[in-house]
Structure 1
Amino acid sequence: MEHNPGMNLRFKAFLDNESQDSVELALNYCGIEECRPGYFHSPPKRSIYLIHIILRGKGTLEIEGQTFHLGENDAFLIPPYRKGSYQADREEPWVYMWIGFSGLKAYECLTKAGFGQQRLVRQVTCTERLHEIIRRMLEIPQLTLVNELRRNSMMQWFLSELIEEYQTLYKTQDTYPYSAAAYVSYAKEFLVENYNRKVRVDELADRIGINRSYLAKSFKKLMGCSPQQFLVNLRMEKAVGMLKNTDLPVNQIAAQVGYENPLTFSKIFKQRYGISPKNYRESAASFPTAQNDCVE
């Protein structure tokens, strides 16, 4: 991007690469500018998404017949191949930062951040964090693979801040990008690997990035039981194996399958099999091996 003589330069730098629209997400350029009073700019149509965030001052955006009077903490989007122009206020010219990016996931990220083809403007409150990300990107302008990877990771962090803030402020319901089966598979694998630890279903859902009710509903539909029931059944299966094949005391077996209190373990075991762990061990030959079949 060329230097504009209409700019009163406070801090301005940029990175320019418009050949990455085939990857998932890629930074094309970014910068921070302080405009002179009344400065007018009409960038050419480009194949990228361009976001400006106003740090202070005022100005006007015009895009395809729409006019927006914008000020501090406003953000505006110019989508690919759409003609827009913007002008700084003559009394309080704006200072803004901008970021241009492209890629196969660019539009999806923008919609989750509150933008779209018809939603071109939104308020932003996390300007300090976004400003810091842009500033850090501008500190590594060298065109090396290492710096390109770092800049792209920062650009993704920039978008994640916009998405998280929008979802928090406007209480939007996130649509999950993966199938229910993928989340259930992850949850099942986590439970199998961590059955001997204290596991809370809400913490597991948070770890995955979904809410508890969605996890429970999906798990029940695909596995025939809740995550908690699956965990209990898994623990009982492991306990049965140890009762049959080891001489470990019951309290140690309880601890090894995730129960801090041996009495709690014994109570759950008896509810499942109708007999205490001690009596089960003594009569193990007459009991079939337990299966983690999610039977309620």
Structure 2
Amino acid sequence: MSHIIEVTVPPLPHYMLSGSMHVSPGGKHLSRKNIGVFDLLVISQGCLYVNEEGQDYEISAGHALILRPDCNHYGYSSCTEETVHHWLHFQILGDWRVIEEQEYYKQRAALEKEDTAYTPLHPFETSPFTLALPQFIKLPQPQKVIDTIDELTDMNRNSHHSSVRLKQQALFQEVISLLASSLETTTPSPGSVCAEKAAAYLREHYREAFSAKKLGESINFHPVYIARCMQKVFGCSPAAYMLLIRIEHSKLLLIQTDMPVERIAEEVGFNHAAYFTACFTKHEGLSPRKFRQLFAWNRES
């Protein structure tokens, strides 16, 4: 049985916190009861087995599940392979309800048949509307959702600044929009398919020198079309996307290892450490060495 979470807005859903987690084979999702927040899970690798209120969900790569704040959930089966999931906690401060997917589409069809526009009684009256979110779905653009959650997570370290929290809330609405639009069609557009394939290839081959020709041959699309699709879906060119992936991996190495910056630059695909430092500094606002000093784990504690 599929469910829809229908939200009355304003107010809009509110971002709280996000992160990612690796679950080794044999591990399970946490058991929790009435956690008080919505918990969005998006799987990028493997499969997570979660039960909520007696219903089992197999959340495989590319799928998303929203766990409700007023329910009990637990891992009903162990992971059989290395599993990576990205999580995001959010809150709905206004009214919301859960309805069956079949009932939702029935109600929507009836409203569309009426074809009546909402007219406020007063020119300054707030016009509320409903926002529908699928509780469980195969995402048409999974990598776009994952990248956005990762960006939100990366911003958490500076969330003590009001300006950063405002940017997070605006960015979170992109996640909400992607989830809501996935209800309109579960069949991704050709452009989304192309962009997702290109993103997957670049994530796998980020250590190699970028080649638009090789990328096109590998996923069987013309390089110009790939660039157009990635700009539309991810907001950047393939080369810029690969650069972001390299910086993403370099940050993990800076935090989790004692490798010299020069070695890290080589490890993530840069031929010259100076160019790596320049790119990293432009993107992060501080040099790799300062980043390490600020955010490296204290492994002695």
TM-score in same-fold range (> 0.5): no
Higher RCO, 1 vs 2 (CA within 8 Å, ≥6 residues apart): 2
Structure in which a larger fraction of residues adopt strand: 2
Structure whose alpha-carbon radius of gyration is higher: 1
TM-score norm. by structure 1 comes to 0.44
